[in-house]
Structure 1
Amino acid sequence: MESNINSGRNIAFIALGTNLGDRLDNLKQALELLQKEPGVKIITVSAIYETAPVGGPDQGPFLNASAILETGLSPTKLLIKMLAIEDKLGRVRKEIWGPRVIDLDLLVYDQIRMNTPLLELPHPRLSERDFVLVPLADIAPALIIPGQEKKVADILAARPVTEDVKLFLPADWYSA
């Protein structure tokens, strides 16, 4: 069984997305709530990109970003905290890939590979989505994705351009 907080510091890479309400404020609030969590420290945040929705019903464009966290929480405990933040900000889980106030995904946690009913690491669709790869490449281009043994920048460069990803705000938009 995982303990809540371990003595070491681990590095986690997360994705943030929103397409309802005040999208910029949603991202800021999610990061502020993460920063307030014991055992979580935001190291850096990517630029924000506006992206077309992928899959799901007709809906407005998303704002997407990525962040690097330092944490003493286990992967599962970190995910549980992230889900609680989604709930606190008003996320409603009605339909898969539907519109959302906030979406927080744990992409990579150190070089851990795991697959449980609650969490799969690395995130199973990480390398298929430009709206995740582009912001992640901003802050961690040399990150090697566990199980793929390729750098984020190389995965992104090898992908065909399939999604509309536009810079919305540069990386200095958020300060912890």
Structure 2
Amino acid sequence: MKKNRNVYLSIGSNIGDKFFNILNAIFELNNLNDSFVVRISKLYKTEPYGYLEQDYFINVGIWLKTKLLPYELLDEIGKIELKLKRKREIKWGPRTIDIDIIFYENIKVDRTDLQIPHKEYKKRNFVLHPLKDIYYNKNILKYYSKASGRVEIYKNFDKILVSSCLLGINCKYNGGNNSRKFLKEFLKKFCIVSICPEQLGGLSTPRVPAERFGEKVVNKKGEDVSLEFYNGAKEAGKIAKVTNAKYAMLKAKSPSCGFGKIYDGSFTGRLINGNGVAADFLEKKGIKIFSV
């Protein structure tokens, strides 16, 4: 039986919405089979390494627990980079996302396509500084004075709206929550604003479960609760504007917060392509959404 292994990763981005790319990569890693994010380092603004004619990077270190073997993990990382539109055109050149395996417990690999520990980590401040936030190893402290590249803590990230139920707040229709353990790390590192559009729209907790059916939202008793859902979406939009939030982590599949896939209105568990009412509203306001 495979056991959980401690893996330390370096993530960087310097094309497009760098912060959004970093968040996307963290979510994708946490969603890998038999894997979860344990800890996230501070974010760092770093100068380019090797090829200098490019924009600054945002870098972060991730402590991941996984049952994936090194080459299985490398394959999944490649899929994530492809999904996030990484292009390999210039060595050490600009990229939407770059994910490197730095350590995989005490395992050593020395192949053309994979070296563990990463062969360049000792030279790179953009790896060493995030690494010290998540992995203490006195044997690597000696490399800091010799590593190159200017590094400073990145402080300009925007606020993130998060569905309250994901944070462990009991606002789900049945009075419970949909707590996600790894979001505790987000609470420590990022500026998060908790929202529950259903409650903002005047619905109580607990409440009768509801699903979106076209432009309407109807609960399991057949009652039309569209007004409450649309009012809640507008209130969420007001909060986004007041707090200057640019991103949202929303509960998957729900008639309010679902993004990309929602229940089809039949209360049978079937999914269809579409967004919940609040997710729709926020996306139209330019908010970038993650489905959790």
TM value normalised by structure 2: 0.52
2:140 to 148, 152, 155: 152
- Mapped partners of 1:132, 1:167: distance in 2: 13
How far 1:7 sits from its partner (Å)? 1.6
Give the SS at the match of 1:38. coil
TM value normalised by structure 1: 0.85
Closer, same or farther: CA 114–162 of 1 in aligned 2, 3 Å:
closer
User: Could you tell me whether the CA contact under 8 Å between 1:44 and 1:69 is conserved in 2?
Assistant: yes
Residue 78 (str. 1) matches residue 95 (str. 2)? no
- Mapped partners of 1:162, 1:98: distance in 2: 17
Residue 165 (str. 1) matches residue 151 (str. 2)? yes
- Higher strand fraction (1 or 2): 1
Closer, same or farther: CA 128–174 of 1 in aligned 2, 3 Å:
farther
The one-letter amino acid of 2:189's match is D
Residue 67 (str. 1) matches residue 53 (str. 2)? no
User: Could you tell me whether the CA contact under 8 Å between 2:123 and 2:147 is conserved in 1?
Assistant: no
How far 1:117 sits from its partner (Å)? 2.5
2:34 counterpart residue number:
39
- Mapped partners of 1:107, 1:125: distance in 2: 9
Q: C-alpha deviations, 1:6-65, integer Å up to 9, x for none?
A: 521111000000000000000000010111111111000100000110111510000001
How far 1:114 sits from its partner (Å)? 1.1
- Mapped partners of 1:172, 1:154: distance in 2: 27
The one-letter amino acid of 2:141's match is A
- Mapped partners of 1:116, 1:65: distance in 2: 25
The one-letter amino acid of 2:42's match is A
2:84 counterpart residue number:
89
Q: C-alpha deviations, 1:133-160, integer Å up to 9, x for none?
A: 0000111122xxxxxxx5233432xx24
The one-letter amino acid of 1:100's match is R
- Mapped partners of 2:53, 2:66: distance in 1: 36
Give the SS at the match of 1:108. strand
Residue 49 (str. 1) matches residue 71 (str. 2)? no
User: Which stretches of structure 1, 4 residues or longer, exceed 4 Å deviation after superposition?
Assistant: none
- The 5-angstrom pairing of residues 62-141 of structure 1 reads 62-141=57-136
The one-letter amino acid of 2:153's match is L
Unmatched runs of 5 consecutive residues or more in structure 2: 158-187, 193-291
- Mapped partners of 2:76, 2:103: distance in 1: 16
Structure with greater Cα Rg: 2
1:26 counterpart residue number:
21
User: Could you tell me whether the CA contact under 8 Å between 1:13 and 1:68 is conserved in 2?
Assistant: yes
1:12 counterpart residue number:
7
User: Could you tell me whether the CA contact under 8 Å between 1:137 and 1:152 is conserved in 2?
Assistant: no
- Mapped partners of 1:41, 1:151: distance in 2: 26
2:281 counterpart residue number:
none
- Mapped partners of 1:95, 1:57: distance in 2: 11
